[in-house]
A and B are shown apart, each in its own frame.
Chain A
Amino acid sequence: MVINTIHWFRKGLRLHDNPSLKDSIQGSDTLRCIYILDPWFAGSSNVGINRWRFLLHCLEDLDASLRKLNSRLFVIRGQPTDVFPRLFKEWQINRLSYEYDSEPFGKERDAAIQKLANEAGVEVTVRISHTLYNLDKIIELNGSQPPLTYKRFQAVINRMNAVEMPAETITSEVLKNCVTPISEEHDEKFGVPSLEELGFETEGLTTAVWPGGETEALMRLERHLERKAWVANFERPRMNANSLLASPTGLSPYLRFGCLSCRLFYFKLTDLYRKVKKNHTPPLSLYGQLLWREFFYTTATNNPCFDKMDGNPICVQIPWDRNPEALAKWAEGRTGFPWIDAIMTQLRQEGWIHHLARHGVACFLTRGDLWISWEEGMKVFEELLLDADWSVNAGSWMWLSCSSFFQQFFHCYCPVGFGRRTDPNGDFIRSARHFMKGFPAKYIYDPWNAPDEVQKAAKCIIGVHYPKPMVNHAEASRINIERMKQIYQQLSCYRGLGMDHLWHFNHDDSLPSVPGNRMDTGNTSPKRNEAVINTPAFPAVQLQLVYEKSCVFGAKLELSSHHLNPIYMVTD
């Protein structure tokens, strides 16, 4: 029997470490690698031009790599549920493969396709390769709940089996006798579209700071490792002015689109560490970037409401303000705070900002200054940020707005001070906002305080050439921290009333003792508290941070606090 295979690329846009593709090639006679482009997607969805461009680069790169193997990429317009029945018939398909997608929407879509495949007698091959681990196993190990603190997550990770090795790269040896039928009209029918064809205006578009594609990704990986080896230091790098600029060794967008396999990255890091540090076991912090990503994927996979506040069991209900005008100022970099505006400008122009810059602008929008919902910020990032995918973006926004994950809220990033400490000279601002060039370092973070002569000399009058600050930060942050305290105080009121079914809070003390890889340092590792990890339900707690007696970690519950009795709240 002739075996005709389709491999469906969604993320995982690579030929290295692609186990679903590799496995389905075995014994196939023909192979067609497809990418489905939803025709309504480009115009209506919330995806900006940089993300589209990156994706198209990835597809072109895949096509080029497949060409070297006498194959091609087939880009097909339509919706998967319409496309597949047609293709199954036309191409007489009996095998379909794709990389497992852990996100709730992805799982739903794939379930529908599985059904169609079963009806058409098509065998489906799915493999996990977008995450380091099988996320369901992580959840199982944690008592059927995703870990809601990063610390707990790390503890569970330590108990998992080792990460699986990356699958062999698809080469002509792997393909063997498997062929791809390519017609003469392939470019017309199935070629990778251009930005113009998708309806984008490309005049004046600058060169991509982040070129997409597997080839670029692998090159960056090598550079990234070289730099680490040269520094021989695997500590978290100190933040400085340069860190804010796009790095030629940055990998996050490539991980998001799957141009770079996270498992490959993981193993290469491990090898390098062992080489440089002479066979010591790498600490978990080495994989920080990868594990955070894994953490958010895990928390999101079973929660279709993960990207919303309403109806999301892990999200604190915070009375955010609806303020489209203020939101627009933030999104477009017109807040009047050069630090914030420079970051948002870089985001819009290039598609990437440093993670501390993200913290700064996210705090400013939500719990720091504007008191606007994190969902709005998440949507802006979804449009502009290359490495923002559903799980990681929503999870990070909830984290940064203190809406979940027991994140402490006392610390607020100052839109003046934080930038000033990171980049005292203000070079980053000058590079992003050219008209601020004339300001001396002393005033570049708070130009409204600059005397008139200084403003005139800089040819930038505040209020004319550049907006005045849209909020008084001291006042706004003072008000907002009070609001956060009110909310958390109220949550602690729910404690005694058995109404904790919504809030699966994690008691700090439930953390097990130290993770196991301490043998090498000569410390005796204490017994792990197995029972705790396997606890099925989180105990009704004590919002770990003493919300009773103290100042910020909990304001004192007033004498007559029963007027705040939650039974009488009409928020249902």
Chain B
Amino acid sequence: MKRGLQGNEQEDGGGTSGGCQKTLKRSRKQRREKDLEDGEARWECLPQEILLHVFQYLPLLDRAFASQVCRGWNEAFHMPELWRCFEFELNQPASSYLKATHPDLIKQIIKRHSDHLQYVSFKVDSSRESAEAACDILSQLVNCSLKTLGLISTARPSFMEMPKSHFISALTVVFVNSKSLSSLKIDDTPVDDPSLKVLVANNSDTLKLLKMSSCPHVSPAGILCVADQCHGLRELALNYHLLSDELLIALSSEKHVHLEHLRIDVVSENPGQQFHTIKKSSWDAMKRHSPKFNLVMYFYLYEDEFGPFFRDEIPVTHLYFGRSVSKDVLGRVGLNCPRLVELVVCANGLRPLDEELIRIAQRCTQLSAIGLGECEVSCSAFVEFVKMCGDRLTQLSIMEEVLVPDHRYGLDDIHWEVSKHLGRVWFPDMMPTW
């Protein structure tokens, strides 16, 4: 910072006392006039808009330091535009290695900036205290008109470990006061049907995104209420037990906008669990209404629980099998998932998936990403597969152990063959073997 004329030196250190205000203003004005003469720039004269722009690039801590420089910069620090987004990090030293948002900062935000906040998220570690602290803050955001709210567990889902009523009441404060919620991420929380009703009652016109995977207290009726009323909903994430034909029909109704993204987690609580089926006609209705929508399905099932799935055509685009999935099921996937874009198989068994892979290459003409772990595919079949869809594969992630050498290809030349058909250098994913 350039040193000004003698009379202005007091300005350079920290904030000024009230008595110097007048002197300051005059000096500033004088200097500004002098600037126009000299053509020299002075930091103090930086217009607020520019300061704001610069501050937006600074991490919070640096901005806080900058705010200590002078009154002008301090004012800029507290401008509403800088407080639209905030991410509260709530960690306890006993359960996390990461630092938490300073409690004084939190107090200051609630006091001075709660009406500026629009995009807020809470990241909590696995301790109950952190989840409760998040809810305490939420309860105080009465003047907020939030557009986005995210409740994110960074480790174990601690929102599930706190008293449900405390959580619900905090959430309800936001739902009632915001009235313009557009995005809501409340996965792994004890949200329930009544609170969803409150959400809908206040935000049905604005809600576009709702992520609520693994919310065990919600019922199919609860989510149906959301779909019926929130016609602007474009993204939805939930568990399979909440999915129903009625829900899909509601999302495909004329009043409803095109759905862009539907994510469904199919999770088995106990081995041998029975899952209901969704009619093909419901999926067809969705497809007609929203021809481009992404249907993302995560399966965490035991091998023998796949009975109801993939019997009919289903418009799934992204499939993730988190546990072992049988050859048979993968065969059905090839037959019934023509829109498939991405396929990830964590584990299969020890019989080669050659036929199944080839079929998927033939029939899933949109496939562009595939990941295989703990399976077996013969090298020849794999090369065949890549020949068929190599030109559209942007992501080919195969664990090294998957490829079984045969009479035509060994492990040392397979990557070369595959690279040829992919048009870029490719290697399987390797794991250290020392």
Contacts and interface: CB of A to CB of B under 8 A. Distances in A.
B268 interface: yes
B322 A564 contact: no
Interface string A436-452: 00000000000001000
B397 interface: yes
B432 A395 contact: yes
Interface string A380-400: 000000010000100110011
Contacts of B102: 570
B7 to A, nearest CB: 37
A477 interface: yes
Contacts of B148: 560, 562-563
Contacts of B300: 474-475, 477-478
Contacts of A552: 318, 320, 342, 344, 371
Interface residues of B, number: 98
Contact of B432 (A296, A317, A479, A565): A296
Interface in A524-572: 545-546, 550-553, 555-556, 558-560, 562-565, 567-572
Interface in A384-429: 387, 392, 395-396, 399-400, 407-408, 410-414, 417-418, 421
B150 A563 contact: yes
A396 B432 contact: yes
B430 to A, nearest CB: 5
Contacts of A523: 416
Contact of A572 (B61, B323, B434): B61
A78 interface: no
A474 B323 contact: yes
B322 A477 contact: yes
Nearest to B324: A417
B374 A418 contact: yes
Contacts of B187: 482
A508 B374 CA distance: 23
B203 interface: no
Interface string A475-506: 10111011100100000000000000000000
B434 A322 contact: no
A120 interface: no
B261 interface: yes
Contact of B147 (A236, A283, A560, A568): A560
B61 A514 contact: no
Interface string B76-101: 00000000011101010111111111
B61 A560 contact: no
Contact of B394 (A323, A513, A546, A551): A546
B369 A550 contact: yes
Contacts of A292: 432-434
A392 B434 CA distance: 8
A321 interface: yes
B290 to A, nearest CB: 14
A321 B126 CA distance: 7
B60 A387 contact: no
A319 interface: yes
B419 A514 contact: yes
Contacts of B234: 559
B315 interface: no
Contacts of A371: 126, 155-156
B425 to A, nearest CB: 4
A445 B155 CA distance: 26
B267 A293 contact: no
Contacts of B261: 556
Contact of A567 (B56, B347, B400, B412): B56
A379 to B, nearest CB: 14
Contact of B61 (A355, A414, A449, A570): A570
Interface string B255-277: 00000010001011001000000
Contacts of B154: 319, 483, 486
Contact of A551 (B94, B319, B346): B319
Interface string B119-158: 1110101100000000000000000000110101111110
Contact of B416 (A475, A478, A514): A514
A512 interface: yes
A563 B121 contact: yes
Interface in B383-434: 394-395, 397, 399-401, 405, 410-413, 416, 419, 424-425, 427, 429-434
Interface in A431-466: 449
Nearest to B187: A482
Interface in B320-368: 320, 322-324, 341-342, 344, 346-347, 349-350
Most buried by A among B86, B89, B271, B433: B433
Contact of A410 (B235, B341, B373, B424): B373
A95 B73 CA distance: 64
Contacts of A545: 395, 397
Interface string A139-151: 0000000000011
A478 B320 CA distance: 11
A421 B373 CA distance: 13
Given A387-B434, A417-B323, A563-B85, A571 B98 contact: yes
B395 A546 contact: yes
Contacts of B87: 563-564, 568-570
Given A412-B346, A567-B56, A570-B60, A478 B265 contact: yes
A478 B100 CA distance: 25
B208 interface: yes
A518 interface: yes
A481 B100 CA distance: 23
Nearest to B402: A411
A559 B235 contact: yes
Given A417-B323, A550-B395, A479 B434 contact: no
Contact of A322 (B59, B97, B152): B97
Contacts of B252: none
B105 interface: yes
B95 to A, nearest CB: 5
A242 interface: no
Contact of B57 (A252, A512, A567, A571): A567
A177 B346 CA distance: 64
A570 B395 contact: no
A181 interface: no
B220 to A, nearest CB: 21
B229 interface: no
Interface string B153-177: 1111100000000000000000000
Interface string A302-337: 000000011000000101111100000000000000
Given A321-B95, A408-B429, A564 B183 contact: no
Contact of B322 (A309, A412, A418): A412
Contact of B424 (A392, A486, A508, A565): A508
Contact of A411 (B96, B346, B349): B346
A151 to B, nearest CB: 5
Most buried by B among A418, A479, A511, A553: A553
Nearest to A514: B416
A235 interface: yes
Nearest to B347: A417
B11 interface: no
B265 A322 contact: no
A509 interface: yes
B89 A518 contact: no
In the complex, the 9 A-B pairs of residues with the closest C-beta atoms, listed nearest first: A411-B373, A551-B318, A563-B119, A319-B154, A560-B183, A563-B148, A283-B412, A321-B155, A511-B425
Given A560-B119, A567-B57, 14 more contacts: A421-B347, A474-B268, A479-B157, A508-B425, A511-B425, A551-B344, A552-B342, A552-B371, A553-B397, A555-B296, A558-B211, A558-B235, A564-B87, A568-B86
25 contacts: A151-B425, A239-B401, A292-B433, A296-B434, A319-B123, A321-B96, A322-B94, A322-B95, A323-B95, A412-B322, A414-B346, A475-B300, A479-B188, A486-B154, A511-B425, A514-B416, A550-B342, A552-B342, A553-B344, A565-B85, A565-B119, A568-B85, A568-B86, A569-B89, A571-B99
